[in-house]
């Protein structure tokens, strides 16, 4: 009789041979570039800073790049699939670490649920457009959950290959649109107004920066896959820098092209008139109608890639917590053949079904409520988590002196922390706008974030008490 799991002292070890390119694919897939350019960008332009939106992406990338310096330096001294949770635990102690784990699980569960809503609504619209049946959005969400469950259960190498194919196609259509606009000179010629301080600070730059940061959610996955990477102490730092730089440049180039497609002076009005169709209208005009249709279909593959990436991240967080004794031990098992956290993957599939099911049962709108509320919740949660991680990195190197490079262990982490605190302040100031709801709803969602952090602290206390009880029992048990 064969066992489907492998354990080491009751806890499994992840296996894989993913390299820098594979990890970068996983991270960029989570960022879902086509979703950002086709969905978030028009809203950024309409209610944010208009033609200055490309600058917001560059500033967000710069803040995250500076943060990544300390993050990458610390990854050279530890390899743990818990990523942010593990880093905070190392720097600030196990209690804060489990509080951070609560925020991480909330972030990825919320953003994945949000994407399920958007993806299901997108598929529903496309199927009806092409003459198919008008099925409820939640049925398409269940289909997506099933597909993600199958791939998430198996080896990370298979998931990386699937995401790699989808991502190449996605980036390809984005670059085709960008170069198509640039080659034809846009609507009124090529200009660089988008990258001037005047454009960035016009309108509501805080709203634009808020959407820009949200478009990078998932970049911590470089460390999450450390145990499944070849030579992780080298792979993770390189993948972290590469992911942030590539995402930032793709966003900046594509958003600039969309601005030029309508003209720097007219793009804000065009976005306000048709936010859902802005990017697709640009594709139809500069690449032809069929290109816009292909882009609309590829938006679904972009969202699917993000769903798979977030699924993998959550199942590995759960695995890391179980291995530390902060979650049921069964979740720390790994598959004998695939080397994947398959029990954690199944648990994540169940939780996604429950969250999506609750919104479906109450008749919530998949975009205006499920997507908007959960995306806003995830944005604030991940920012708080990154601020905690920055402080943990500073504390870790100050205490251990394992790395004496001043820029990597002191200056960059402090600058990154300051930048993240500033961005967090802007997001909180515009949070009600981000979720498209009332002040009461905003307060409730922020309270949920605090609740998950506190829940992590409580779990840490209970875990310590249980360990102490086990140790006392061992001391009192007579030896024979």
**Cβ neighbours of residue 46 closer than 8 Å, sequence gap 6 or more:** 268, 271, 272, 275
User: Over the stretch 103-120, which tens digit does the pLDDT of each residue have?
Assistant: 988 998 998 999 999 899
253 falls within a domain: yes
| CA–CA gap between residue 158 and residue 306 (Å, rounded) | 15
User: Over the stretch 37-61, which tens digit does the pLDDT of each residue have?
Assistant: 988 898 889 988 999 999 999 999 9
Give the 3-state secondary structure of residue 187: coil
pLDDT of residue 476: 54
Query: Cβ distance 354 to 138 under 8 Å?
Result: no
**Of 8-17, 24-33, 148-157, 258-267, where does the model show the most confidence?**
258-267
Query: Cβ distance 34 to 174 under 8 Å?
Result: yes
pTM across the whole model = 0.84
473 falls within a domain: no
- CATH number for the domain including 64? 1.20.1740.10
Instruction: Read off φ and ψ for residue 335, nearest 5 degrees.
Output: -70, 135
221 falls within a domain: yes
Residue 478 has pLDDT above 50, yes or no: yes
User: Over the stretch 307-332, which tens digit does the pLDDT of each residue have?
Assistant: 887 888 788 778 877 777 766 776 66
Q: Cα 263–256–35 angle (5° rounding)?
A: 115
Smallest CA-to-CA distance from 102 within 341, 318, 358, 323 is with: 318
pLDDT of residue 307: 87
User: What value does the mean pLDDT take over residues 117-135?
Assistant: 90
Question: Residue 407 sits in which domain range?
Answer: 20-462
User: Over the stretch 159-205, which tens digit does the pLDDT of each residue have?
Assistant: 567 767 777 888 889 999 999 999 999 998 999 999 999 999 988 88
Whole-Å CA distances, 270 to 254, 278, 279, 290, 316: 17, 7, 10, 22, 42
> Helix 289-323 and helix 342-361: axis angle, to 10°?
120
Residue 389 has pLDDT above 80, yes or no: yes
Give the 3-state secondary structure of residue 8: strand
Higher pLDDT, 282 or 316: 282
pLDDT bracket for residue 10 (50, 70, 90): very low
8 falls within a domain: no
Instruction: Read off φ and ψ for residue 333, nearest 5 degrees.
Output: -75, 145
As a whole-number percent, the residues of the chain with pLDDT over 90 amount to 40
Higher pLDDT, 20 or 93: 93
Smallest CA-to-CA distance from 271 within 437, 51, 36, 435 is with: 51
Q: Which helix (H) or strand (E) holds 216?
A: none
pLDDT of residue 160: 63
User: Over the stretch 73-105, which tens digit does the pLDDT of each residue have?
Assistant: 887 777 666 678 888 989 999 899 889 989 988
Give the 3-state secondary structure of residue 229: strand
Smallest CA-to-CA distance from 42 within 182, 215, 164 is with: 215
Alpha-carbon torsion (251, 252, 256, 259), positive or negative = positive
245 falls within a domain: yes
Based on the structure, what is the number of domains in the chain?
1
477 falls within a domain: no
Instruction: Read off φ and ψ for residue 468, nearest 5 degrees.
Output: -65, -40
DSSP state of 277: T
| CA–CA gap between residue 347 and residue 192 (Å, rounded) | 48
13 falls within a domain: no
pLDDT of residue 53: 94
User: Over the stretch 234-248, which tens digit does the pLDDT of each residue have?
Assistant: 788 888 888 899 999
**Of 166-180, 247-261, 398-412, where does the model show the most confidence?**
247-261
405 falls within a domain: yes
pLDDT averaged over every residue in the chain? 84
Give the up-direction half-sphere exposure of residue 311: CA atoms within 13 A in the CB hemisphere. 36
pLDDT of residue 38: 86
Query: Cβ distance 185 to 327 under 8 Å?
Result: no
Whole-Å CA distances, 458 to 95, 323, 331, 351, 392: 8, 18, 20, 21, 20
| CA–CA gap between residue 375 and residue 283 (Å, rounded) | 26
Residue 7 has pLDDT above 50, yes or no: no
């Amino acid at each position: 009789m064969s066992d489907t799991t492998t354990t080491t002292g009751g806890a499994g070890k992840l296996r894989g041979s993913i390299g820098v390119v594979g990890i970068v694919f996983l991270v960029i897939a989570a960022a879902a570039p086509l979703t950002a350019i086709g969905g978030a960008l028009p809203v950024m332009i309409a209610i944010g800073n208009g033609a200055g939106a490309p600058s917001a992406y560059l500033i967000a990338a710069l803040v995250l790049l500076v943060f990544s310096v300390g993050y990458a330096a610390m990854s050279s001294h530890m390899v743990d699939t818990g990523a942010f949770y593990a880093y905070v635990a190392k720097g600030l102690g196990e209690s804060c670490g489990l509080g951070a784990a609560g925020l991480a699980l909330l972030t990825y569960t919320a953003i994945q649920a949000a994407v399920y809503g958007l993806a299901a609504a997108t598929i529903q619209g496309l199927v009806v457009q092409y003459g198919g049946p008008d099925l409820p959005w939640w049925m398409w969400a269940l289909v997506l959950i099933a597909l993600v469950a199958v791939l998430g259960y198996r080896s990370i190498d298979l998931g990386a290959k699937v995401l790699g194919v989808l991502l190449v196609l996605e980036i390809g259509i984005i670059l085709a649109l960008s170069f198509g606009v640039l080659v034809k000179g846009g609507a009124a010629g090529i200009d660089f107004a988008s990258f001037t301080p005047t454009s960035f600070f016009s309108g509501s730059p805080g709203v634009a920066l808020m959407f820009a940061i949200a478009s990078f959610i998932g970049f911590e996955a470089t460390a999450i896959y450390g145990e499944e990477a070849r030579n992780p102490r080298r792979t993770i730092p390189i993948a972290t820098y590469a992911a942030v730089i590539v995402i930032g440049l793709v966003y900046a180039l594509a958003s600039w092209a969309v601005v030029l497609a309508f003209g720097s002076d007219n793009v804000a009005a065009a976005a306000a008139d048709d936010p859902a169709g802005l990017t697709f209208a640009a594709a139809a005009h500069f690449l032809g109608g069929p290109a816009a249709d292909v882009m609309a279909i590829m938006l679904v593959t972009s969202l699917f890639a993000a769903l798979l990436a977030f699924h993998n991240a959550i199942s590995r967080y759960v695995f890391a917590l179980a291995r530390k004794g902060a979650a049921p031990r069964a979740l720390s098992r790994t598959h004998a053949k695939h080397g994947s956290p398959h029990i954690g993957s199944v648990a994540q599939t169940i939780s996604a079904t429950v969250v999506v099911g609750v919104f479906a049962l109450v008749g919530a709108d998949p975009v205006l409520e499920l997507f908007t509320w959960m995306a806003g919740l995830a944005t604030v949660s991940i920012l708080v988590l990154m601020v905690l991680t920055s402080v943990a990195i500073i504390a870790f190197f100050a205490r251990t002196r394992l790395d004496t490079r001043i820029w990597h262990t002191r200056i960059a982490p402090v600058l990154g922390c300051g930048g993240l605190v500033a961005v967090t302040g802007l997001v909180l100031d515009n949070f009600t706008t981000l979720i498209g709801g009332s002040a009461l709803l905003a307060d409730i969602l922020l309270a949920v974030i605090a609740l998950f952090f506190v829940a992590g602290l409580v779990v840490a206390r209970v875990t310590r008490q249980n360990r102490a009880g086990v140790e006392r029992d061992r001391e009192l048990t007579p030896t024979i």
